[in-house]
Structure 1
Amino acid sequence: MSTWESPDAPPHLRLGPAQWAVAVLRAVPLALLVFGGLAVLLLVRLVEAPIHGLHRPWTPHITRVVCRTALILLGIKFRSKSSPMSQPGAVVSNHCSWLDIFSLNARKRVYFVSKSEVAKWPGIGWLARATGTVFIDRDPKQARAQKQVFEDRLLAGHKLLFFPEGTSTDGLRVLPFKSTLFAAFFTDNLRDKLYIQPATLSYSAPGGGDPRLYGWWGDMEFAPHLLQTLAARPQGLITVTYHAPLKVSDYASRKELALACEKIVRGGLELTPEAQEYLSAHG
């Protein structure tokens, strides 16, 4: 899977004693929250799984509380516009950062679709598996099995969330949507029942800072970016805009539906004056 690359070097924050102190003061309670929440979730799942099977009526609420609290501990402001849909189906969004997980879970009960490699990542992989993430393999031989997993989860009432760009960016743009995963919604069992809700993630860095502060792309390593995010002071704002759901059966093909979602998501992107100035200068 290819990753998006910027022609310009990513932002780099030099950490002095004050920044290190802020990072540590945020990191300790954040780690306790995330891994403490994971422990509670796994314990609840031990009871939930035998009773409800594939359905998860309890544990997603734990995930949502943890993610919303995590943003508070990071000091990042959060707001959402409009409402998550009540219809069955999936959500598609632009992809900016690992922070997307917290942002999109903070308001809506969703299950992420992620590449299979993520399941092997220390820490993040454990969290992803515990919260019901659907892992997909790039091997074409697995396509039919993965399609069946999609159908089973959707028919169980799960709202799947995936990033059709296929890669993360600096948060200042929306890349063309790949239509591959949209094919799962056009089966005879699902097409007339499901809706797709486009959602736009907009990251606003604190005034005067690099507008790409929260973007995580290319070969950027997770640990330095996490440290930079923890140390940032003041912090910025994350806005999630939920757009009107699209009925799958209103579209003739997966490519047509993917393009419609792409245009809506791109149209909802909110950029600060600093971000607009950066794009004018660097493209």
Structure 2
Amino acid sequence: MRRSRAIARVVVGLSVLAFCLVGYALTWPVRRRIGWVRFFLQWFGEAMGLDVRVEGRPLGRDVLYVANHVSWLDILALGGATPTRFISKDDVGSWPLVGMLARIGGTIFIDRTSRRAAHGQVDQLGQALLDHHPVALFPEGTTGDGRSLFPFRPALFASVAPPPPGIAVQPVAIDYDAAASEICWTGDEDLGPNAKKVLGRPGRLRCTIRFLDPLPPSDDRKALAARAQAAVAAALALPLS
């Protein structure tokens, strides 16, 4: 039964992908205004079994969202709820199909292994914000198990410490409740087995996205990262790792 559910969701998801790619290609002059990327993430998430609920008010633009990271589903949930661009490790850009979709969505790729490249990456993120693109950052740098938070890495907070004029930092808590420990993508688990486990679940998977109060401006990136982590941890009632 789990296998049948997983196959059915994949078939529906591929149908959504095909529809959105055709629509994206045929509406070239106005594709940004239509918002194909957001529609795709929202519809694809629904096909994967997500039931997304939003609490709080997303700022919408001129904002850096900073969120906890549990699963690859986070991108579908947050990207379907807001017209945000994401920050991702650079090797994702070379993944078959996923890399192409990430580039279409305006993903900002960074090399987490190179300290020498960090300054340029901060500038790249800052420029995206100045261009009025909302950007989402998962500052844990990896996915967690849903039972605690890893420390929020402060490096990329330098792009908003202090923030450019008009730019805000808004913490976001992504909550799968008790299902988090079941669907989390951690350790050495490959994407394939995790996706099979997630897609084979019965029923819908509730995901609540809580947009929290924006953080006060600060010129201290480490303090800003710590405040963001504390806000998300409090919203999820989780301890800090």
TM-score (norm 1): 0.77
Which residue number in structure 2 is paired with residue 29 of structure 1? 12
* CA distance in structure 1 between the aligned counterparts of 2:60 and 2:197, rounded to whole angstroms: 37
- Identify which range, 164-173 or 197-206, moves more after superposition: 197-206
In the alignment, the residues of structure 2 paired with residue 96 and residue 35 of structure 1 have an alpha-carbon distance, to the nearest angstrom, of: 27
> How much has 1:35 moved relative to structure 2?
4.1
Matched residue SS, 2:122 = helix
Q: Is the 8 A contact 2:145 2:186 kept in 1?
A: yes
The Cα RMSD (Å) is: 2.3
Instruction: Tell me the amino acid that sits aligned with residue 269 of structure 1.
Output: L
What are the residue-to-residue correspondences of 1:177-256 with 2, within 5 Å? Answer: 177-186=152-161, 190-205=163-178, 212-248=181-217, 251-256=218-223
1:165 has 2:140 as partner: yes
Name the stretch that deviates more: 89-98 or 28-37. Answer: 28-37
Q: Which amino acid is 2:143 matched to?
A: S
Q: In the TM superposition, what is the alpha-carbon distance from 1:236 to its structure 2 partner?
A: 2.7
Q: Tell me, in whole angstroms, the C-alpha distance in 2 between the residues paired with 1:71 and 1:150.
A: 26
Q: Contact conserved, 1:169 with 1:216, CA < 8 A, in 2?
A: yes
Quick one: structure 1 residues 87 and 157, their matched pair in 2 at CA, closer, same or farther if it must change by over 3 Å?
Answer: closer
Instruction: Assess, with a 3 A threshold, how the Cα gap between structure 1 residues 229 and 140 changes in structure 2: closer, same or farther.
Output: same
2:105 counterpart of 1:150: no
Compute the displacement of 1:194 (Å). Answer: 1.6
Q: Which has the larger radius of gyration?
A: 1
Distance 2:211 2:53 in 1: 11
Runs of 4+ in 1 over 3 A off after TM superposition: none
Percent identical residues? 30
Deviations 1:181-233 (A, max 9, x none): 0001236xx44432100000011356xxxx51210011111111111211111
C-alpha distance in 2, partners of 1:192/1:76?
Answer: 36
SS in 2 for 1:140: coil
Give 1:96 shift: 0.4
Shift of 1:261: 0.5
Structure 1: gaps spanning 5 or more residues: 1-17, 49-55, 272-278
Deviations 1:144-170 (A, max 9, x none): 332332222111100111111111011
| Aligned with 1:41 (options 7, 19, 24) | 24
Give the 5 Å matches for 1:41-120.
41-44=24-27, 46-47=28-29, 57-58=32-33, 61-86=35-60, 88-120=62-94
1:259 counterpart = 2:232: no
Distance of aligned partners of 1:34 and 1:145 in 2 relative to their CA distance in 1, 3 Å threshold: same
Residues 202 and 270 of structure 1 are in contact (CA less than 8 Å); yes or no, is this contact kept in structure 2? Answer: no
